[in-house]
Structure 1
């Protein structure tokens, strides 16, 4: 098989039970910050546990000075409406739990790390485990057709871990487009109902029947799963008491060049794991020019990169086309940035054309 690339001149704790760390109505957690912007300021507040377990904190809030403004998360008073709220500047409510009128009495932190709102009978009315972002904790489930998301800093891109009916996959998302760069397909052809993080790995279920799992490579019990902001890699973590820190027991991508954004735009990841620039029509370094919207042979041309493949897999493609037709297909599309042509093993004059926007 030949592939051608064209570019256009881009264990928290093992028992689920209530802790004694209950936050009752009227409780407030505050963190003092300077009235004027102070470069380099970083403030943190912790809610500590009394038991001698590792790690020793339960929950934390922080305020950091970044780009002439403060980035912060705050806990506010427990309201009479019995819902949890997050507020920004000028007391603007940016989010609420929506539990008003459901008889909520307390905010509890479970031993699993799950933050829950409960009524007088300790029935859960809302829980963070139902709304994960980039992390899954021990015992947490993620249903089919749901996902985790992780946002790189200073970027409009984001990564996602998606649970689909037949596979688990990692995607790079950009605008309305998304490109897969890793997937795990169970050996048994059964539909995935949900996945659950256990001490040994990420277990895959059909109904209540476990039929596969992504196993940890170490003997230590797992504590959490994380989709990394900076790289988009998927890792399973255990806690090392010897080193007093969390370490990865498994990672989906083990080589630098397998990462979706291993290099900057117009860069190529080499076999050594370093990046080199695409040499365009002139001998210069990586181009930073904005080529968005260029299309047609009067404005641009396609450059073939021999021996280069993309770890990103586009869902947009045309089948049974030739290499030149694939290049023209991208060139005529003003939103196309690159195309990858996969030659048919039986017919060298035909193949599949994948485009990247």
Structure 2
């Protein structure tokens, strides 16, 4: 009876302990879920987060209400960190906090919000900040990140739409104060007084415009010296150019899906090749919907440095002796041909006829009387890397940046003069390599010959043994149609039949 009472008491205590553990688990789970939900829907004052070392690609911190977009730590090349807004279904980054310089991935890096959203790095200390004094951070369904005060009727203290990186989405205004930069930093988009311009940064301090789309002003005119213009992706599926205060577009660049019953989130991105591409999300993938540059050879550097792009034939090198590989003919170069203002002849000259720049209409040029005069202008100019002379017009197009891709036109009156810095690696098979390859081929052929001769001798011995057995069994007479392939008579027949 006493044992029974002790057992009942033990069971009761165990049940009480289980009940307490269950209650604590539920409370802990509820608390954790509530905290996670609050963190994901908005970032309040006092928020802190550090990169998780187990994260391989993206660590989400804040999401919009649909779950299509997320703000978080993006791991780049395993060692670098970016604060990014990601399109979750496609894992495409739409925005980076500081696209020109990434932080180092470290659990000592930290994102905090104390009225200002701040990313600190253990090496550079303050890496990036919104420089605001607000109350919360939210992410809208269109990927716009807002830093807001508690009074939601006031304008946002800061928003990511004012600081785009390489992407614009529908209804996002792009003004003359903004710059769109490709992920490799080589190309950027900017607005002029009445045009959209695409520029290449091939050499520091010498930006080259390669596309200039002027407003057609079909529906309304742009009034000079009045309100500034802006560009916007219209949900009706076109890239429009507007003047502030006027709802009518001054220019319409139609997407492929213009005025078609197609739905899907729209965006344009300045690609690493310099093209401005429009897409829409069909629910599973991004569909190509617009291209500012439709022909490959019209891209600013379709075949890389010192490359030659020919319609229908793809890429080759301006130097016929150089093998086109890895997207370039010579290693990328920079700078000029001066040392403390003194010209240096530390280059060799590459000439090629039948070529022209892909954007010559937008290049600086001088009128010269001959190709020799054109070459002389570039030769004496420290910042000139190349020149193309048009014998028909006398125009001498000057390149103030390392030579990029030229277009093959087949017109021999268009003559190119290009400087190549000494020491630039040529990707060609040299004589030594050719000899080495020849020796290897010879060795392989000798080995194959030895194997063939050995196999033939083995086969001949086996055949002789079989013949001897037949001769012994049949009184020295060879059976049937058997021929001795080694006899002089058969060899003469074989040679005579050839």
TM-score, scaled to structure 2 = 0.56
Whether the 8 Å CA contact 1:84–1:96 is kept in 2: the answer is: yes
Aligned to 2:395: 351
Aligned to 1:317: 365
Aligned to 1:213: 252
The Cα RMSD (Å) is 3.1
Identify which of 20, 33, 41 aligns with 2:53: 33
How many angstroms apart in 2 are the aligned matches of 1:49 and 1:349?
A: 59
Q: CA deviation at 1:236?
A: 1.4
How many angstroms apart in 1 are the aligned matches of 2:159 and 2:302?
A: 36
TM-score, scaled to structure 1 = 0.76
Aligned to 2:163: 131
Decide which structure has greater helix share: 2
- 1:185-238 deviation digits (Å, cap 9, x = unpaired): 12226356111122122111123322212111113355222111x212101121
- 1:104-148 deviation digits (Å, cap 9, x = unpaired): 111121222111111121221111111111111221111135321
How many angstroms apart in 1 are the aligned matches of 2:322 and 2:315?
A: 15
Q: For residues 274-293 of structure 1, what are the structure 2 equivalents within 5 Å? A: 274-279=314-319, 283-285=321-323, 286-288=329-331, 293=337
Indicate whether 1:61 and 2:63 are aligned: no
How many angstroms apart in 2 are the aligned matches of 1:50 and 1:71?
A: 22
Decide whether aligned partners of structure 1 residues 310 and 145 sit closer, same or farther in structure 2, where only a CA change above 3 A counts: farther
Whether the 8 Å CA contact 1:76–1:86 is kept in 2: the answer is: yes
Aligned to 1:108: 138
Indicate whether 1:272 and 2:301 are aligned: no
Indicate whether 1:119 and 2:119 are aligned: no
Aligned to 1:308: 355
How many angstroms apart in 1 are the aligned matches of 2:350 and 2:77?
A: 44
Unaligned 5+ segments in structure 1 are: 1-19, 35-40
Aligned residues, how many?
A: 310
Decide whether aligned partners of structure 1 residues 273 and 95 sit closer, same or farther in structure 2, where only a CA change above 3 A counts: farther
How many angstroms apart in 2 are the aligned matches of 1:289 and 1:46?
A: 37
Decide whether aligned partners of structure 1 residues 136 and 75 sit closer, same or farther in structure 2, where only a CA change above 3 A counts: farther
How many angstroms apart in 2 are the aligned matches of 1:23 and 1:127?
A: 14
Whether the 8 Å CA contact 1:302–1:331 is kept in 2: the answer is: no
Aligned to 1:96: 129
Indicate whether 1:161 and 2:194 are aligned: no
Aligned to 2:270: 227
Identify which of 280, 291, 297 aligns with 1:238: 280
Decide whether aligned partners of structure 1 residues 98 and 275 sit closer, same or farther in structure 2, where only a CA change above 3 A counts: same
- 1:56-102 deviation digits (Å, cap 9, x = unpaired): 34334222444xx33443761222xx1111222257111211114xx
Whether the 8 Å CA contact 1:132–1:148 is kept in 2: the answer is: yes
SS at match of 1:98: coil
Indicate whether 1:247 and 2:287 are aligned: yes
How many angstroms apart in 1 are the aligned matches of 2:333 and 2:162?
A: 41
Unaligned 5+ segments in structure 2 are: 1-39, 84-108, 324-328, 402-498
Aligned to 2:241: 204
Identify which of 61, 70, 79 aligns with 2:80: 70
Decide whether aligned partners of structure 1 residues 290 and 162 sit closer, same or farther in structure 2, where only a CA change above 3 A counts: closer
Indicate whether 1:86 and 2:149 are aligned: no
Aligned to 1:151: 183
Decide whether aligned partners of structure 1 residues 352 and 43 sit closer, same or farther in structure 2, where only a CA change above 3 A counts: closer
Q: CA deviation at 1:273?
A: 5.2
Indicate whether 1:24 and 2:67 are aligned: no
How many angstroms apart in 1 are the aligned matches of 2:51 and 2:289?
A: 35
- 1:17-58 deviation digits (Å, cap 9, x = unpaired): xxx922212233443116xxxxxx82322257585x5x6343
